[in-house]
């Protein structure tokens, strides 16, 4: 792969190496082995646990042995998403980064800067022999994006240190000291099939090219949810015409706002032109409602090949009604931190999992445990009222802010020294692994920070190059001025 002449060179060189290795969630074996070999090749103590988490321990620079041990933590997996027209196999094809003015992007896929740039920065700390720092332990975890299972399985003994610096935030100049906890609800809608015949006309509706984004960071940005829009249109048609739902599919990942959704349905041939008119009116309505946040949205309705069966009408109505009614978006704003989303829910995906089951996946987040459980119950109840079998799992804790943190003071002081400006102290609505680490090691003093990224969890993901250089300078300064033991 062509080398990128970007600063910080060492960080970007390692990032390009990471892009060559498949490392989607649940597929981290190669990247885990790569990191283990990297640590051993440098001559540092390297530990891998049973699930593939990796710890590499770098001794203190001479004269800095009296500093507290810092754990630099990042996750090695990435969200795998691509544009519909892009051919890419995330299990074997490399990510292809390119420079677009001030941004680093990927060719039609997610870039994986979340959190590959964090991994690359930790590797640079390990490899750079000119840095000044106390003891540094670099911890790389698996499967952050689809359940935090690496952090959950991590043995407390691997959290060897006094301070943990998480490298998985997305706004340079902002230091995060708290995050939301979360949980997922999986609703199985079981159904029978009904044979259909007669003078029917079959159509396929596609809603795609929505903005999408991260279901935590972007949930308050008034972006459209493709699954919600699809259910809204189909229910409108079902209320006016003889209607048969033959297939439905939307979204992909529990932590991404769905950008695409589609369905195949049938109506009486005599109604097809009226349906087209209704669709055009619907598309115009939605484009007007989301004119600012969804400028690239595409709505298409076209004829498709006939099929001999459809979902039993009552089951189809229950499914579509549940999708339309279930809560999606910001549930509550924080009463303590202005502008911070406290509680939310994302209608993430609608997928057929067997011949007679369609599964709807949702994720709920909150910085307050009781509020998280409440919104989860609200969503679960809506699906149960519609007759679905609902499973709740994947619960993970939040991270309560500590304004008296020693490492927070160091991070704020060094930022001002470097850039002559005050760093912003924030909490984030996204889930970080920090909550799980704090459960296992309550003594840890923690912060999270990173370079500026936009469009994460989507093919629009991009990394601000200049912010990466500032972030790297800040990281080096924090390591050099780490608190004394």
- Cis amide prior to 115 (ω within 30 degrees): yes
H helices of 61-215, where? 113-127, 149-153
Q: At what angle do helices 113-127 and 9-19 cross, to 10 degrees?
A: 130
23's enclosing H/E stretch is none
The catalytically annotated residue of 28, 144, 168, 433 is 144
- In whole angstroms, what is the distance from residue 138 CA to residue 73 CA? 6
The Cα diameter of the chain in Å comes to 85
Helix (H, G, I), strand (E, B) or coil at 197: coil
Contacts of 27 (CB under 8 A, 6+ apart): 77, 90, 91
- In whole angstroms, what is the distance from residue 136 CA to residue 222 CA? 41
And the tokens for 465? 């190059």
User: Would residue 89 show up in a list of annotated catalytic residues for this protein?
Assistant: no
Pairing of strands 136-141, 70-75: parallel
Contacts of 43 (CB under 8 A, 6+ apart): none
The catalytically annotated residue of 77, 143, 145, 294 is 77
H helices of 154-270, where? 226-240
Residue 445: name the closest of 112, 225, 90, 177 by CA: 177
- In whole angstroms, what is the distance from residue 318 CA to residue 388 CA? 9
- Cis amide prior to 8 (ω within 30 degrees): yes
Strands (E) in 295-381, as ranges, are 298-303, 309-311, 329-333, 341-354, 357-366
User: Would residue 162 show up in a list of annotated catalytic residues for this protein?
Assistant: no
And the tokens for 368? 């307050």
Contacts of 296 (CB under 8 A, 6+ apart): 209, 210, 211
Residue 469: name the closest of 175, 138, 172, 101 by CA: 172
**CB neighbours (10 Å) of residue 2?**
8
Identify the residue whose tokens are 């099939």: 193
- Provide the β-strand partners of residue 163: 70, 445
Pairing of strands 462-464, 103-106: antiparallel
Angle at 363 (CA atoms; ends 463, 342), nearest 5 degrees: 75
Instruction: List the catalytic residues.
Output: 77, 144
């Amino acid at each position: 792969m062509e080398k990128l002449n970007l600063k910080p060179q060492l960080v970007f060189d390692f990032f390009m190496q990471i892009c060559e290795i498949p490392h989607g969630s649940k597929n981290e074996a190669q990247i885990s082995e790569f990191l283990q070999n990297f640590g051993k090749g440098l001559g540092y103590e390297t530990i891998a646990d049973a699930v593939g988490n990796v710890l590499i321990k770098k001794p203190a620079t001479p004269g800095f042995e009296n500093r507290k041990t810092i754990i630099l933590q990042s996750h090695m997996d990435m969200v795998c998403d691509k544009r519909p027209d892009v051919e890419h196999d995330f299990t074997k094809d490399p990510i292809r980064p390119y420079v677009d003015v001030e941004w680093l992007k990927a060719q039609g896929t997610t870039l994986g800067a979340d959190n590959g740039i964090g991994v690359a920065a930790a590797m640079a700390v390990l490899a750079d022999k000119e840095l000044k720092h106390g003891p540094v332990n670099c911890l790389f975890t698996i499967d952050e994006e689809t359940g935090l299972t690496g952090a959950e399985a991590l043995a407390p003994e691997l959290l060897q240190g006094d301070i943990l610096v998480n490298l998985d935030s997305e706004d340079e100049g902002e230091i995060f000291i708290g995050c939301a906890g979360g949980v997922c609800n999986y609703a199985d809608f079981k159904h029978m099939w009904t044979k259909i015949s007669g003078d029917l006309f079959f159509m396929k509706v596609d809603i795609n090219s929505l903005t999408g984004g991260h279901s935590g960071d972007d949930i308050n940005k008034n972006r459209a949810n493709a699954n919600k829009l699809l259910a809204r249109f189909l229910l409108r048609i079902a209320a006016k015409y003889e209607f048969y739902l033959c297939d439905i599919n939307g979204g992909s990942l529990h932590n991404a706002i769905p950008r695409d959704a589609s369905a195949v349905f049938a109506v009486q041939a005599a109604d097809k032109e009226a349906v087209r008119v209704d669709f055009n009116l619907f598309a115009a309505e939605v484009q007007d409602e989301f004119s600012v946040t969804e400028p690239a949205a595409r709505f298409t309705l076209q004829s498709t090949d006939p099929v001999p069966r459809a979902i039993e009408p009552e089951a189809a109505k229950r499914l579509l009604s549940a999708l339309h009614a279930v809560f999606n978006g910001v549930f509550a704003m924080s009463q303590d931190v202005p502008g911070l989303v406290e509680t939310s829910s994302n209608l993430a995906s609608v997928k057929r999992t067997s011949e007679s089951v369609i599964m709807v996946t949702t994720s709920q987040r909150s910085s307050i445990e009781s509020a998280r459980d409440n919104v989860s119950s609200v969503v679960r109840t809506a699906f149960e009222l519609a007759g679905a079998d609902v499973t709740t799992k994947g619960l993970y804790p939040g991270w309560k802010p500590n304004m008296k943190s020693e490492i927070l003071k160091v991070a704020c002081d060094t930022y001002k020294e470097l850039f002559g400006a005050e760093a912003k102290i924030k909490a984030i609505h996204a889930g970080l692994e920090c909550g799980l680490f704090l459960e296992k090691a309550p003594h840890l003093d923690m912060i999270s920070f990173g370079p500026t990224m936009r469009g994460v969890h989507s093919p629009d993901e991009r990394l601000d190059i200049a912010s990466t250089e500032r972030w790297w300078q800040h990281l080096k300064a924090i390591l050099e001025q780490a608190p004394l033991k």
